[in-house]
């Protein structure tokens, strides 16, 4: 299969969305938890979380355009400056998937989709109790992406929790042990298996691949 720019542009919308959403490879499956000014908890699945740097510890995620109807995740992050990112455990991918439904504001996706709100470390935003890796973030920057009106939300990690046994000596986290799911497109979920681990790639240490 070969697709040029014009082939892509002429592809039917849903088919194009599925293709282009898959071409980056496996994306992380995360639930983002927020709380409104009225105290209502909100949670939804996001696949666009990306590591931006470790010092300071910054993560970004991309939000769909919000100019027509801002969604709860965006509204709550803007009003509180706080949100949580929680890995989706492989046993709960179906529950996590359906948090993406456009529920009315009054309905809690936590309750409807079988997740439990958990308030830890005096943090404003809810963590997802069922998740094995939980991150609390403070919003530090919002970057509008003018080419398609999406928004990159950048947050600094202020809380991080995971089971002791998943961390190796030098801080490697074993995502297989964490039972974290992966995503392709917006509807396909993968189980992760750790294959190998290599040392820092010094030129002098590159194996002879010939």
Positions in the binding site for ligand FMN (CB under 6 A) = 42, 44-48, 61-64, 71-73, 97, 100, 102, 183, 186
Q: C-beta of 110: minimal distance to ligand FMN in Å?
A: 11
Q: Of 34 and 179, which CB lies nearer to ligand FMN in the complex structure?
A: 34
Determine which helix (DSSP H) or strand (DSSP E) holds 111, and give its type and residue range. helix 109-112
Q: Of 85 and 183, which CB lies nearer to ligand FMN in the complex structure?
A: 183
Q: Give just the sign of the alpha carbon dihedral 39, 75, 95, 195.
A: negative
Residue labelled with tokens 């990112």? 85
By the 8 A CB rule, do 92 and 43 touch?
A: no
Q: Of 151 and 166, which CB lies nearer to ligand FMN in the complex structure?
A: 151
Q: Of 34 and 136, which CB lies nearer to ligand FMN in the complex structure?
A: 34
Rg, Å, the chain Cα set: 19
Q: C-beta of 144: minimal distance to ligand FMN in Å?
A: 14
Q: C-beta of 72: minimal distance to ligand FMN in Å?
A: 4
**How far apart, in whole angstroms, are the C-alpha atoms of residue 126 and residue 114?**
14
In the DSSP assignment, the letter for residue 180 is B
């Amino acid at each position: 299969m070969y697709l040029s720019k014009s082939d892509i542009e002429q592809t039917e919308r849903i088919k194009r969305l599925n293709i282009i959403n898959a071409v980056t490879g496996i994306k992380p499956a995360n639930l983002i938890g927020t709380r409104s000014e009225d105290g209502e908890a909100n949670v939804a699945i996001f696949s666009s979380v990306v590591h931006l740097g470790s010092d300071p510890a910054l993560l970004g995620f991309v939000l769909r355009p919000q100019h027509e109807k801002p969604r709860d995740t965006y509204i709550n992050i803007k009003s509180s400056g706080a949100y949580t990112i929680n890995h989706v455990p492989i046993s709960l991918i179906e529950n996590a998937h359906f948090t993406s439904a456009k529920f009315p504001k009054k309905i809690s996706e936590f309750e409807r989709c079988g997740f439990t709100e958990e308030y830890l470390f005096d943090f404003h935003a809810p963590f997802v109790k069922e998740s094995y890796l939980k991150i609390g973030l403070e919003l530090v920057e919002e970057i509008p992406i003018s080419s398609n009106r999406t928004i990159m939300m950048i947050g600094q990690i202020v809380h991080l929790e995971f089971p002791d046994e998943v961390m190796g000596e030098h801080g490697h986290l074993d995502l297989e042990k964490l039972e974290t799911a992966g995503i392709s497109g917006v509807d396909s979920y993968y189980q992760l298996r750790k294959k190998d681990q290599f040392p820092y790639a010094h030129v002098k240490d590159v194996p002879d691949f010939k």
